[in-house]
Amino acid sequence: MATLLTVGVGMLRIAVFIALLLIVLVAVYFPRFRRTLGMTIVVLFGAIGVIIWQDIQERGQEFERISLEQAQLSQMRNRPGLNGRSFVVEGRIQNLDTNYTILSLELQATVKDCTLGKCEIVGQGQITFPVEVPSTQSRDFSVTIPFAVIPKIRGEAAWEYEIVKIRAR
């Protein structure tokens, strides 16, 4: 299937190249066609610009559709990652919104070192990851969050998790 798709894309490129070559040749041999060609190119670039602008607007709205309160984390747990500077965070995300599907999350994990009732932050890491959660449903996830520095815990570790951004459609 992938080979057929590659062949199809290759044939499309050849067809577009031949069409452009024919347009240039017609423009060279028929001077009155040049003005029409110029207008067509201007309209084409204008249409492409509008499509790109609409896409940028749509992408911006994807981060505004679901408020942070409409997604809840539960059953959060962690374990050390493969290297000493990362942790694997697992849990469940619940989409409370009734209209939109969550496509990705940006999650922040904070590690606190708690000694004698006082806690101080010793590490924070963020990661954006894809997770598709339809409206009013939940999904489990597992991600590796890298930390810039290795947190050294002297007392007891306390973890906090916060959703920073939600992308939805």
Task: Give the tens place of pLDDT for each residue, 61-98.
Answer: 888 889 999 999 999 999 988 887 889 999 999 999 99
Percent of the chain at pLDDT above 70?
Answer: 94
Q: Is the pLDDT of residue 1 over 50?
A: no
User: 11 versus 46: which is more confidently predicted?
Assistant: 46
Paired tokens of 110: 């904070």
Q: Is the pLDDT of residue 9 over 60?
A: no
Percent of the chain at pLDDT above 90?
Answer: 44
| Residue that is written with structure tokens 């959660």 in the block | 133
Diameter of the chain by CA atoms?
88
Question: Where does the pLDDT of residue 7 fall: very low under 50, low under 70, confident under 90, or very high at 90 and above?
Answer: low
pLDDT score for 112:
92
Paired tokens of 100: 């939109």
Whole-model pTM over 0.75 = no
Residue 154 near residue 113 (C-beta atoms within 8 A): yes
Average pLDDT over residues 115-140: 93
